[in-house]
Amino acid sequence: MSSRTLNRRQIVGMAGAGLALLGSRAARAAAGAPADWAAPDFVVLNARVYTMDPQQPQAEAFAVKDGRFAALGSTLAMKSLAGKAQTIDAQQMTVVPGFIDSHNHAPGNELLYEVLVGNPYEVEFVTIASIIDKLRVKAQKTPADTWVEGYFFDDTKVKDKRALTRQDLDQVSTQLPVMVQHRGGHTAFYNTKALQLAGIKKDTANPAGGTFDRDANGDLTGRVTDRARDVFNTVGKHMTYAGEDAMRRDRDGLAFISKQFVRYGLTSVCHEAGNLQALQEVRARGALLHRVSYEAEGPELAAMLSGGMSTGLGDEWIRLGATCEHTADGSFSERTMAISVPYPGTNGYRGNVTETQDDLNAWCERVHRAGIQMNCHANGDVAIDHVLTAYERALLLKPAADARPKITHCTLINDDLVRRIKAIGVVPALFTSYAYYNPDKFHFYGEELMKRCMAYRTLLDAGVPAAAGSDFDPGPFSPLMGIQGMVTRTGWNGEVWGANQRITVDEALRVNTLNGAYATREESIKGSIARGKLADFVMLAEDPHTVDPAKIKDIKIVRTVVGGRTQFSA
Ligand SMILES: [Zn+2]
């Protein structure tokens, strides 16, 4: 039974016999599993196993052989299979399939080598003085004309409770260009020197798809949004690294973030671009601990287009996936996404559309014709409409039964958009950790809009296989933080936004596992604990079904296993 025969309702996991298709026989056939399961490599006993396989939703124990699940059932039954195999007594702990992050920028070398002015992983408030101090230290070591940059800034995690300004960054340097990047990735803050180098003056007009923000007097604040940042790319110098130096940094960064991923229970991650050669070298050195769906852009995407490489090429560790997110609008967290109503409390601002419909159409058609899974970044309802228009057109020009075009974020939806999403089989990858991490930004939208944002409930009810995309660095990548937010819609500060979009723990687990596998077209080999599938699983100290929902994010990851190999243990 090929995966092509699975329909979306089955994947979403509504009760139904069709889901049995995901079970043992299909998976084993697809996976080319050995016929002889009799002598497992190890067995896990005494566990509360939530399989995400409707054919056998729960088990006490399972056996692993050659990196795959070989059998599952009662502790007694698995004990009798064990023979001389290693036994792991789970002591009633919970086991779930390995978590899958369907959208992640995996910026390992940024974490290792750049100035971090905010906390990448957790909610933490910083002072503007601390940002200035860190960047001053960097500026002292920075050659003339070269950028001083800070990363992971979050404008609503500042103890000063005010905006970061040009004047703040002038305190870092008046001689060097200074830039602080918002972790959301769509806005940045510049000092006066940087604005001068870019030729931006008080009366410079905003370009299409971006803004140079101004205060009440019309003076530049230093905040620049979306496409307006393009002009800064061509001024000043950046620290550059060549040859083996650059490769070593990229390898180190990837190896570093791979360790972080498995520490949080992630076993598969969609990487937004990055150094593909470094990724393979990390794997060859045995330092790639998680599986990668590589989403190409720039030269790598061009090589795919010209070289006949389609989505799916690769193996279970590194596979070419959809394209990197192709950006159609601004940011949810930075309040620049393109929406159909004015932002509450503004002078009619409706966000930034960052690409014309014609360009979007042409881009989608090109990648779709090449057999590459389309993937566009669209947050606002206006941008989602544009992307759907481009997908519908591409699919009309070259019909494909099961193209699974991806929409990264797909944040603000309405009934008509959901109907169109379902009609062409879109896989959306929604924000995960935002519900917990970003409640301090949702008042910019208000409850009426938040009821339709990160709309897991609506999409799952419609039979759309929503997947989980942390978007790190914009959002922390902890899957358990994501699940807590999906289940409670309650932020770190206790605020509840869009409670109508809550989903159950079981649904949230499925979103973070099986639906992620579906998004990369790998549901026949991973995403659930079923005979023949890759033995990717996580052992949790407590059961998210029974723990206080406000403490799901604090559940300890005891062990992360990928392909039968323990990649992390507490
Ligand atoms: Zn992104």
Closest CA to 318 of 520, 559, 518, 29: 520
In the reported structure, the alpha carbon of residue 378 is separated from the centroid of ligand 1 by a whole-number distance in angstroms of 10
Region of poorest pLDDT, from 128-137, 211-220, 238-247, 560-569:
238-247
Closest CA to 355 of 382, 332, 333: 382
Identify the pLDDT of residue 168: 98
Torsion of CA 316, 363, 408, 518, to 10 degrees: -40
Length of the chain: 570
In the reported structure, the alpha carbon of residue 313 is separated from the centroid of ligand 1 by a whole-number distance in angstroms of 22
Identify the pLDDT of residue 519: 98
Give the phi and the psi of residue 362 in degrees, each rounded to 5: -65, -40
Say if residue 13's pLDDT is above 70.
no
For 121, residues 6+ apart whose C-beta sits below 8 A from its C-beta are 260, 476, 477, 478
Give the phi and the psi of residue 215 in degrees, each rounded to 5: -90, -175
User: How is residue 437 annotated by DSSP?
Assistant: H
- pLDDT grade for 535, boundaries at 50, 70 and 90: very high
In the reported structure, the alpha carbon of residue 430 is separated from the centroid of ligand 1 by a whole-number distance in angstroms of 11
User: How is residue 51 annotated by DSSP?
Assistant: -
Identify the pLDDT of residue 107: 80
Amino acid letter for position 232: F
Which region holds residue 51: left if phi is over 0, alpha if psi is between -120 and 50, else beta? alpha
In the reported structure, the alpha carbon of residue 121 is separated from the centroid of ligand 1 by a whole-number distance in angstroms of 16
In the reported structure, the alpha carbon of residue 242 is separated from the centroid of ligand 1 by a whole-number distance in angstroms of 26
Average pLDDT, the chain: 93
In the reported structure, the alpha carbon of residue 74 is separated from the centroid of ligand 1 by a whole-number distance in angstroms of 42
In whole angstroms, what is the distance from residue 63 CA to residue 151 CA?
44
Say if residue 11's pLDDT is above 90.
no
Say if residue 23's pLDDT is above 90.
no
Identify the pLDDT of residue 400: 96
Identify the pLDDT of residue 391: 98
In the reported structure, the alpha carbon of residue 325 is separated from the centroid of ligand 1 by a whole-number distance in angstroms of 6
In the reported structure, the alpha carbon of residue 356 is separated from the centroid of ligand 1 by a whole-number distance in angstroms of 19
Residues of the chain with pLDDT > 90: what percent?
A: 91
Q: CA quadruple 337, 185, 409, 557: dihedral positive or negative?
A: negative
Determine the average pLDDT of the residues in 515-536: 98
Closest CA to 194 of 215, 219, 163, 173: 173
In whole angstroms, what is the distance from residue 428 CA to residue 407 CA?
5
In the reported structure, the alpha carbon of residue 158 is separated from the centroid of ligand 1 by a whole-number distance in angstroms of 23
In the reported structure, the alpha carbon of residue 72 is separated from the centroid of ligand 1 by a whole-number distance in angstroms of 37
**Helix (H) / strand (E) containing 133:** helix 128-140
**Helix (H) / strand (E) containing 166:** helix 166-170
Say if residue 9's pLDDT is above 80.
no
In the reported structure, the alpha carbon of residue 471 is separated from the centroid of ligand 1 by a whole-number distance in angstroms of 5
The model's pLDDT over 155-184, given as tens digits with 9 standing for 90+, comes to 999 999 999 999 999 999 999 999 999 999
In the reported structure, the alpha carbon of residue 104 is separated from the centroid of ligand 1 by a whole-number distance in angstroms of 6
CB 506 within 8 A of CB 545: yes
The model's pLDDT over 505-525, given as tens digits with 9 standing for 90+, comes to 999 999 999 999 999 999 999
In the reported structure, the alpha carbon of residue 12 is separated from the centroid of ligand 1 by a whole-number distance in angstroms of 24
In the reported structure, the alpha carbon of residue 570 is separated from the centroid of ligand 1 by a whole-number distance in angstroms of 30
Identify the pLDDT of residue 37: 60
Determine the average pLDDT of the residues in 315-342: 97
In the reported structure, the alpha carbon of residue 103 is separated from the centroid of ligand 1 by a whole-number distance in angstroms of 6
Closest CA to 337 of 324, 321, 353: 353
The model's pLDDT over 393-452, given as tens digits with 9 standing for 90+, comes to 999 999 999 999 999 999 999 999 999 999 999 999 999 999 999 999 999 999 999 999
Say if residue 369's pLDDT is above 60.
yes
pTM tops 0.85: yes
Identify the pLDDT of residue 36: 54
In the reported structure, the alpha carbon of residue 321 is separated from the centroid of ligand 1 by a whole-number distance in angstroms of 15
Instruction: List the 61-65 sheet strands across, edge first.
Output: 68-73, 61-65, 42-45, 86-89
Determine the average pLDDT of the residues in 80-94: 94
Say if residue 18's pLDDT is above 60.
no
Which region holds residue 348: left if phi is over 0, alpha if psi is between -120 and 50, else beta? left
Determine the average pLDDT of the residues in 233-240: 93
Say if residue 38's pLDDT is above 80.
no
Which alpha helices (DSSP H) does 377-469 contain, by range? 381-397, 415-423, 434-437, 439-442, 447-450, 456-461
In the reported structure, the alpha carbon of residue 5 is separated from the centroid of ligand 1 by a whole-number distance in angstroms of 31
